């Protein structure tokens, strides 16, 4: 059986990360795929660490089970009670994505009040879920899947990556710390916010510190819109999307430009040039679906919504494997024009 070594780049996007859960579940099911490294921000960081920890405990099936336990724990902490079976499938995901008027009102208040005012006790259900499921000491001690977890250093506004040996509960919470919802997470005297603000997801560590020729990016944000937003809510939503995806676009454009230049050179004497020549980029996404989901739906952790996204993620990964597996190690299946058309 032919095995293909890949690195994964996981985008953040709140509860939309359940789509990534589905993609990962399907990739782990395919024994032809081996994962060398994972980079991630926010929900992407959660998926990365949960997968890596589960893999250490029980291989592929351990990783699949760990992801299932994590997302079902997130769902069980949701105030929504309708079960997955009460809904249809993909055609109803958009209908399920809406959240209550009360939650929308709370989301709106974040524009006018600080986290210390809205959430004085800094309540975060993820803290208990992650503390119960992840043995960070074991994760730091053992060599396994390479991890690159993105955070944003508040004092400088710059990206800070944490590797396996540096991981902790605070690092993971910092990677998903939305500035308007939670107070900054302090690590070694420095304050950190959501990693998606500066790299969503990081690509350069997968290029410079890994061997896999193929990088598969799993994206959650709508990449293009057919109309110009006009209402206040539409403008706010689009600004939010742009803020959490522009860094990825910039890094990806720079990477693809550098790869093109390396391929044009007559001689590739440097290690980086040789690496870029043989680097292949791939993308798994659901752009037409994500363009229909509001930014508010990233706070929707209802079981039906999360399970529907997970099922859709499996379908997207299955289609990608059928279409692109043979191309792994041979060339990119991603084209920049696909992202910005």
Give residues with Cβ within 8 angstroms of 210, minimum separation 6.
7, 36, 37, 146
Phi (first) and psi of residue 58, to 5 degrees: -155, 30
The answer to whether 205 and 39 have CB atoms below 8 angstroms apart is yes
Catalytic annotation, pick one of 194, 295, 297, 302: 194
- Is residue 143 among the annotated active site residues? no
Neighbours of 269 (CB within 10 A): 7
Helix (H, G, I), strand (E, B) or coil at 331: coil
- Is residue 42 among the annotated active site residues? yes
Catalytic annotation, pick one of 7, 42, 199, 308: 42
The answer to whether 40 and 10 have CB atoms below 8 angstroms apart is yes
Cα dihedral 132, 301, 303, 103, rounded to 10, equals 130
The closest of 64, 82, 104, 103 to 308, measured between CA atoms, is 82
Where does 265-302 have alpha helices with state H? 271-277, 287-290
- Residues known to be catalytic: 42, 194
């Amino acid at each position: 059986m032919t095995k293909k070594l890949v690195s994964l780049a996981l985008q953040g996007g709140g509860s939309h990360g359940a789509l990534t859960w589905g993609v990962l579940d399907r990739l782990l099911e395919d024994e032809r795929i081996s994962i060398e490294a994972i980079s991630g921000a926010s929900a992407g960081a959660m998926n990365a660490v949960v997968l890596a920890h589960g893999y250490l405990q029980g291989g592929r099936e351990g990783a699949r089970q760990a992801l299932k336990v994590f997302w079902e724990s997130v769902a069980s902490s949701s105030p929504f009670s309708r079960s997955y079976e009460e809904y249809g499938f993909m055609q109803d995901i958009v209908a399920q994505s809406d959240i209550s008027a009360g939650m929308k009102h709370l989301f709106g208040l974040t524009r006018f009040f600080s986290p210390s005012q809205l959430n004085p006790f800094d309540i975060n259900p993820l803290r208990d879920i992650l503390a119960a499921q992840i043995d960070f000491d074991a994760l730091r001690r053992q060599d396994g899947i390479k991890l690159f977890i993105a955070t944003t250093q508040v004092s400088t506004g710059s990206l800070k990556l944490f590797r396996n040996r540096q991981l902790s509960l605070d690092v993971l919470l910092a990677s998903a710390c939305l500035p308007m919802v939670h107070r900054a997470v302090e690590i070694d005297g420095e304050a950190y916010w959501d990693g998606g603000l500066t790299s969503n997801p990081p690509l350069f560590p997968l290029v410079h510190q890994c061997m896999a020729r193929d990088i598969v990016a799993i994206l959650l944000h709508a990449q293009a819109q057919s109309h110009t937003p006009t209402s206040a809510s539409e403008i706010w939503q689009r600004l939010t999307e742009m803020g959490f995806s522009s860094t990825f676009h910039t890094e990806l454009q720079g990477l693809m430009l550098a790869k093109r230049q390396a391929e044009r050179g007559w001689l590739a004497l440097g290690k980086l040039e040789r690496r870029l020549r043989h680097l292949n980029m791939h993308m798994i996404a659901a752009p037409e679906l994500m363009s229909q989901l509001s930014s508010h739906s990233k706070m929707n952790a209802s079981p039906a919504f999360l399970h529907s996204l997970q099922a859709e993620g499996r379908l997207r990964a299955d289609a990608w494997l059928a279409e692109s597996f043979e191309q792994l190690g041979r060339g990119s299946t991603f084209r920049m024009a696909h992202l910005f058309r």
